[in-house]
Structure 1
Amino acid sequence: MKRIHNYIVIEISGWERERFVNLCCRRGITLYNCQCVKETIRARITRQDYFKTKELRRKCHVHIKVLKKHDIEFLFARYRRNYSIIAGFATAFVLMFIASRFVWSIEFDGNYIYTDYAMLRFLNEHGISTGDKVKSIDTESIEKAIKDELSQVTWVNVRIEGNILKVSIDESKADELHSTTNDGNIISGYSGVIEYIITRSGTPKVTVGDEVSEGDILVENTLYVPDDYEENIQQFQTQAQADILIRTQLSWDKEINAVYADKIYTGRKMTTYAISIDKYEISLGFPRHLKEYDKVVNEGNIKIGNLIALPVSVQKITLNEYKENEAEYSEEEAAAILNEKAERFIKHLKENEVQINDYHVNIERSGDKYIAHGDIDATVPADFDVRKVETSDE
């Protein structure tokens, strides 16, 4: 039996329905899949043949009921006055296809030392940013650049999923790092007492309990190998590697202004929205009646599933109006603020594998400032850079 794809399912009723079928055959009008259902005949007929049966229906006094239309032409006929709907779907499909050819989102995973902002800036410096073509991104070269230039990254995987560039990294811990000079020696970053040393490569110059100063060589990059008679000693150059902990005294200083601008919120709020398309932003409202305000932005990217990120994000912006009045910290308020900063600094040290033995913070007022000074008894890796913690604590 011939299979047709564009057809109409009809139901023929009336006393001369068999005659109608016979006349259709004589006139070259083909009926498919004819079935007798009670006192009717059901069949399939093409759209063109359906309109040819008008005269035969009148002659045979039959009634034809259309049960189903399976034809794309009927679909267009149904929406002939709403072509904008079809055009909208077609436009959306084309835009989705074009958007899938570009990277519209960059996601990072496993990074703690290097923030998302720092990683994004690193990629931008190497010519990688949102809006780049997927085919133009070389994931292997990105992996190599990250390994070569970011010293604390031990493993990296860069991949493209849909139109999302995903970067996964592993970072070394503070006690796994080794501070070396250009010639491969391990040098001390602090003055103090050696509490722990395990040498993997090179010749140790200190032992547990030795006092060292900042800049002293702790492990030399030379191996001394004597012969069987311990007369002739051969020297081999290597890269010094060791885990070393030094007990030392760290200092911490912070100051705040005694006079500050106190924000008094008026209670007036305004909520507005904005649409961000790649690097462009379209605001849907303006804070016309608010003079000074805080802004809280909640942004959500539009995604189709988990792999396709559209270059469009919607922002909900909440504005809280305030007025500024000049105020002055009391000694108790200043002490609370500075002690909180000190606690946060100590917390960051512990997160970087620094052991805190004891610490003391002294706070005093000098002119129009409150100044805090902290003395910290700590055990740190020989190569630990406390300046990184101070920077992250700002």
Structure 2
Amino acid sequence: MIVKLIQYIRGYVRIRITGYSPERFLNLCSHHQIRLWGLRPCGHAYEMYLSVKSFRKLKPILRKSNMKIKVLDRRGLPFFLNRNRKRQAFFTGAILCLLLVYLMSLRIWNIHISGNYSHTDEEMLQFLASKDICHGMLKRKIDCEQIVKAIRSEYDDVIWVSASIQGTRLLVQMKENMDMIREEPEEEIEAPADIISDADGVITEMITRKGVPQMEAGSEIKKGDLLVSGSVPVLDDNKEVTGYQYHIADADIYIQTEIPYESRMEIEYQKKVYTGQKRKALLLEAGPYAIQAGILFHRFPESETYVKKKTLRIGEHFDLPIRIGLKEIRAYTFSDTEYADSEIRRKMTEEFDRFCKELKKKGVQILENNVKIYKDHSNAVAKGTLTVIKTVGETVQAVKDTDHIKGEE
């Protein structure tokens, strides 16, 4: 393979020799160290290949051997360049293009961050920029190990991070500690604490872990009723209260109740109708510079703008700092129309299904659905109740009984 490449770069020819002394011709070529290959007989003649440099040495050998020569084919880079000598600008541009691609391959043109949830891409890019890591910088100036150390030291909730260079991309992968939820701390409740009802309904199940239940399964309760007391009485041998042990009441209480549901939507709406009028322009972005080819000026009363861009890429990881795209403006008008009955039912059913899905995420079990869809002259209404089983209970601070204090936990 290497030999063929060298032969192509130097150039070679295919010749045919005729005469009465082909053996003398071959011996003289061997004596003058002229390399021949692909030698084969062709009738009363011989065909062979030799380099351009060797071909120029054949004149005295042909005279001594009384042979005639005919060039059948010319191959290689010198002949290619000679045939295309009028296209010098094309080859110059191709060489400059290759040189430009090489120079661009020495830099980072895309910083890709993955695994970040609580920290946005913009936040991470600003942090990297503060550490002099930005788009367009030389790859040899990037220390991936230092990037990892900087991120770990800056963000306590990042438990794993890696940085690597693939082509012209800097890949930053991280994993956050999802247990570190940033919430405002709830107000601490000290013993004793009771559980009161925060909804109306009928208790279906009650599992008490700490405290004294004040209701039982089947009891009908109202909002604000005491369900579990955190003050546990201490009895003597005569079953008389001698004091209290105070706890933060803890229990799982389930009630059957009804949840009201109501949703409205207007029957009439303005439908967007596209007129077919458009304005288009091609976009070319190279780094901070942008070129637009096309006229986007219009007098449309209502319009939408669509922009589609694509980053040029060589291979999987070699992103070029060049983006091409299309910008399109579409004109439209509004037309007053009404939803069909099937469309109303579909939309309201989808909204109701989303409502039920949110309830199920909260652990609510739906037993019965009594929601109906009604329609008047201007609105459609989905209204009714849902019979459900849900948890109930709100922990509130209780007051100690100062007359009977036994002890506290």
Residues 102-181 of structure 1 mapped to structure 2, 5 A cutoff: 102-111=107-116, 113-114=117-118, 119-126=120-127, 127=129, 128-150=133-155, 153-173=158-178, 176-177=179-180
2:95 counterpart (76, 90, 93): 90
Within the candidate set 267, 272, 277, 2:276 is matched to: 267
**Residues 36 and 264 (structure 1), Cα distance of their counterparts in 2 relative to 1, 3 Å cut:** closer
Cα distance, 1:23 vs structure 2? 10
User: Secondary structure, in 3 states, of the residue corresponding to 1:82?
Assistant: helix
Task: Answer whether contact 1:35 1:41 (CA < 8 A) is retained.
Answer: no
Cα deviation, residue 279, structure 1: 3.0
1:315 aligns with 2:325: yes
Specify the structure having the higher radius of gyration (Cα): 2
Report if aligned partners of 1:130, 1:278 keep a CA contact under 8 Å in 2: no
CA contact 1:30–1:45 (8 Å) conserved in 2:
no
Of 291, 302, 313 in structure 1, the residue corresponding to residue 312 of structure 2 is 302
- Could you say which residue in structure 2 is the equivalent of 1:293? 303
Q: Secondary structure at 2:85's aligned position in 1?
A: coil
What is the number of equivalent residue pairs in this alignment?
317
Match of residue 386 from structure 1: none
Identity %, equivalent residues: 22
- Asked if structure 2 preserves the Cα contact closer than 8 Å seen for 1:31 and 1:43, the reply is no
Aligned to 2:86: 81
Q: Name the SS of the counterpart of 2:19 in structure 1.
A: coil
List aligned pairs for 1:36-47, cutoff 5 A: 37-38=40-41, 39-47=44-52
Say which SS state the counterpart of residue 113 (structure 2) adopts. Answer: strand
1:32 to 35, 50, 54: 35
CA-CA distance at 1:163 after TM superposition: 0.9
Q: Would you say the 8 A contact 1:34–1:42 is kept in 2?
A: no
Change beyond 3 A, Cα 1:181–1:285:
closer
One-letter code aligned to 2:121: L
Question: Structure 1's 92 and 17: CA in aligned 2 closer, same or farther, altered over 3 A?
Answer: farther
In structure 2, relative to structure 1, the CA distance for the partners of 1:24 and 1:119 (3 Å cut) is farther
| Separation in 1, partners of 2:57, 2:34 | 12
Match of 2:287 in 1: 278
1:11 aligned residue:
15
Shift of 1:275: 1.6
* 2:109 aligned partner, one-letter code: W
The letter for the 2-side match of 1:108 is I
Query: For the residues of structure 1 that align with 2:45 and 2:347, how far apart are their CA atoms?
Result: 90
The Cα shift of 1:81 comes to 1.6
* Corresponding residue for residue 228 of structure 1: none
Cα 1:294–1:300 change in 2 (3 A) is same
Q: Are the equivalent residues in 2 in contact too, given 1:8–1:68 (CA < 8 A)?
A: yes
Unaligned runs of 5+ in 2: 190-194, 197-208, 214-251, 255-264, 367-388, 392-409
Q: Is the 8 A contact 1:273 1:316 kept in 2?
A: yes
CA distance in 1, matches of 2:359, 2:26: 95
The verdict on how the C-alpha distance between 1:318 and 1:355 changes in structure 2, with shifts beyond 3 A counting, is farther
Going from structure 1 to structure 2, the CA distance change for 1:355 and 1:109 (only over 3 Å counts) comes to farther
> What is the TM-score when the length of structure 1 is the normalising length?
0.56
> What's the secondary structure of 1:286's corresponding residue?
coil
Matched AA of 2:297: R
- Aligned-residue Cα RMSD (Å) equals 5.9
Runs of at least 5 residues in structure 1 that lack an aligned partner in the other structure: 194-205, 211-244, 248-255, 359-376, 380-394
What is the alpha-carbon distance in structure 2 between the residues aligned to residue 151 and residue 357 of structure 1? 39
- How far apart in 2 are the matches of 1:61 and 1:40? 10
